[in-house]
A = this chain, B = another copy of it.
Amino acid sequence: MKINENYLKMPGSYLFATIGRKVKAYQAANPDAGIIRLGIGDVTLPLAPAIVEEMSRASLEMGTPEGFHGYPDYEGYEFLRSAIRDHDYVGRGLEVGLDEIFVNDGAKCDSADLSDIFSRDCKVAVCDPVYPVYVSSNALAGRAGDYIEEKERWSGLIYLPCTEGNGFVPEFPEETPDLIYLCFPNNPTGGTITKEQLQGWVDYANRKDAVIIFDAAYEAYISDPSLPRSIYECEGARTCAIEMRSFSKNAGFTGVRLGFTIVPKDLVRDGVSLNKLWLSHQENKFNGVSYTIQRAGAAVYTPEGQRQTAEQVAYYMNNARTIRQGLTDAGYKVFGGENAPYVWLQVPAGMTSWEFFDQLLERANVVGTPGSGFGPMGEGYFRLTGFGTYENTLAALERIRKM
């Protein structure tokens, strides 16, 4: 019997699962501690009225002979894909067809699965620091080589450092990658990319025959109108880029599970349409998303849904600005938090980011995410999110100030 040995190469459990267990243990040992969670990036506001009303209606509809829906389409219901296309793309002057949209049960699954359509020996580039799923999914698939403990890096990956020096926007690597993961507005740094910089990456990918997997999960948090909200705003992106979107952060769907991926029909590699490959992946390995949940997603695009979810985004961005200001006042150096819900702060000199995590948990009962959990260039940094309640955000800052 042989198991997949790539699982044994993993240096530890999934970052957010580790944090969850640490916090659970601390809470068990200190039952009276009023822990404030600004770590895992989970939202806190209840779902908007327009969404729960539609989700409730669709649930009852499933109990009627006329309204019952069985197996959903692999790509998602047309009512949802139309709303996505019209609102997020065609309405913004971008060309995306109905059959280029693949609805999923949250962007994390596709983040992890998209690389399946590429060969095992394909060379992958990731930012450092980075959302861990891009790395772990490629590691489990055997595409990352071995984990080098002392470097805290995988031998087979190309790392693109994102530092204060380059404004948290990566430069082109020396070695040519086949697959490039980019996420803007960025998780974890809260950094953004200008349209010119993103155009540079699109041109690079087309020149090098590479494919960009662009994670636009946080596009709703962009307030600067000059920043790109979709990679398809760049010329030539349809021949080199896949885009991932999520309802988790723009509509609070972390517990609802809904997202989508765009694979343009113009994206062809080795003479093969990647759109067709991904459709084949979905038909063979996926069975679509719940009717009720897709109806909830469509409700996001109604006028009430748009207004109500925009208010939630504004609420969280107010938190992010509050954190940014509060930490600055307390003497911390901070980044992000302006067009992204994440604030990236420098931990006090002489401390690792996990030491800061422990200190924050024990002295302030505040949970954040240690920067090194996102990669070695994240060492010395720490992520806080604007997804808490306003009251908790203020309380957390007060506690950090007194720490």
List chain A positions with a Cβ less than 8 A from chain B.
Answer: 1-5, 7-8, 10, 13-14, 17, 40, 42-49, 51-53, 55-57, 59-60, 62-65, 67-72, 74, 105-106, 108-109, 112-113, 116-122, 133, 136-137, 140, 142, 178, 209-211, 252, 254-257, 269-270, 272, 274, 277, 280-281, 283-293, 296
Interchain CB contact under 8 A, A42 and B70: yes
**A56 CA to B209 CA, complexed, in Å:** 48
Interfacial chain B residues near A72, Cβ < 8 Å = 255, 257
Interchain CB contact under 8 A, B291 and A293: no
How many identical chains are in the complex?
A: 2
Interchain CB contact under 8 A, A256 and B42: no
Interfacial chain B residues near A120, Cβ < 8 Å = 4, 142
CB distance from A351 to the nearest CB of B (A): 27
Q: Closest B residue to A177 by CB, please name it.
A: B1
**A354 CA to B57 CA, complexed, in Å:** 41
Given A1-B210, A1-B270; A285-B113 close (CB under 8 Å): yes
Interfacial chain B residues near A270, Cβ < 8 Å = 1-3
Interfacial chain B residues near A46, Cβ < 8 Å = 62-65, 67-68
Interchain CB contact under 8 A, B47 and A55: no
Q: When the two chains form the complex, which single residue of B5, B112, B210, B284 contacts A285, counting CB atoms closer than 8 Å?
A: B112
**A69 CA to B44 CA, complexed, in Å:** 8
Q: When the two chains form the complex, which single residue of B112, B211, B255 contacts A1, counting CB atoms closer than 8 Å?
A: B211
